[in-house]
């Protein structure tokens, strides 16, 4: 995982690649030979988790759907703003972004996220801001977040080989 993300805005706090690797099936109906990489990052009051997978992905759309459904399967997280596709402002491959709300120790935490996948990689980025944990999910600028997630995607995507 890179030491910084989003042009140096976020600094790596903890590499979670091993944890992520043990939580992700390496071979399934849609993904094969999967390896995981992930990190927890911070920037002031903001905390960002970036999780990436690489290997062979038969159907990227299925991977995106499974990732998004998996984010709300813990019983503590619900969809606040339904996911939809965003094209980065500078153009390029679309990302699927939305906002979930997770209840942690009785407090609601607003969690914008973006997910992407292609035939060899998938990734997701989610962010919380300690200064506005229970921010109105409807007020999140998802286009702005998609642009940030796209910058991060460009920074973490590496050619295989």
At residue 22, the pLDDT reads: 82
Report yes or no on 127 lying in a domain: yes
Domain that holds residue 85: 4-156
Note whether residue 63 is domain-resident. Answer: yes
In a domain, 99, yes or no: yes
Low-confidence ranges of the chain (pLDDT < 50): none
Q: Which helix (H) or strand (E) holds 66?
A: helix 60-71
Residue 161: what pLDDT?
61
Query: Quick check: pTM over 0.85?
Result: yes
Nearest by Cα to 123 from 95, 142, 101: 95
Q: What is the pLDDT, as a whole number, of residue 103?
A: 93
Q: What is the pLDDT of residue 160?
A: 64
Q: Which residues contact 105 (CB under 8 A, 6 or more apart)?
A: none
Is position 161 within any domain?
no
What is the domain count for the chain? Answer: 1
CATH number where 9 lies: 3.40.1000
């Amino acid at each position: 995982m890179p030491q910084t993300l989003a042009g140096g805005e976020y600094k790596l706090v903890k590499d979670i690649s091993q944890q992520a690797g043990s939580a992700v099936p390496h071979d399934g109906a849609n993904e094969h030979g999967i390896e995981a990489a992930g990190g927890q990052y911070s920037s002031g009051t903001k905390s960002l988790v970036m999780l990436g997978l690489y290997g062979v992905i038969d159907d990227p759309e299925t991977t995106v759907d499974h990732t998004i459904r998996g984010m709300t399967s813990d019983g503590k997280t619900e969809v606040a703003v339904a996911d939809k596709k965003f094209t980065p402002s500078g153009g390029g491959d679309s990302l699927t972004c939305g906002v979930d709300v997770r209840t942690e120790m009785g407090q609601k935490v607003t969690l914008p996220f973006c997910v992407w996948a292609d035939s060899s990689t998938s990734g997701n980025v989610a962010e919380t801001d300690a200064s506005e944990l229970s921010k109105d999910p409807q007020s999140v600028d998802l286009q702005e977040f998609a642009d940030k997630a796209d910058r991060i995607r460009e920074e973490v995507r590496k050619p295989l080989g």
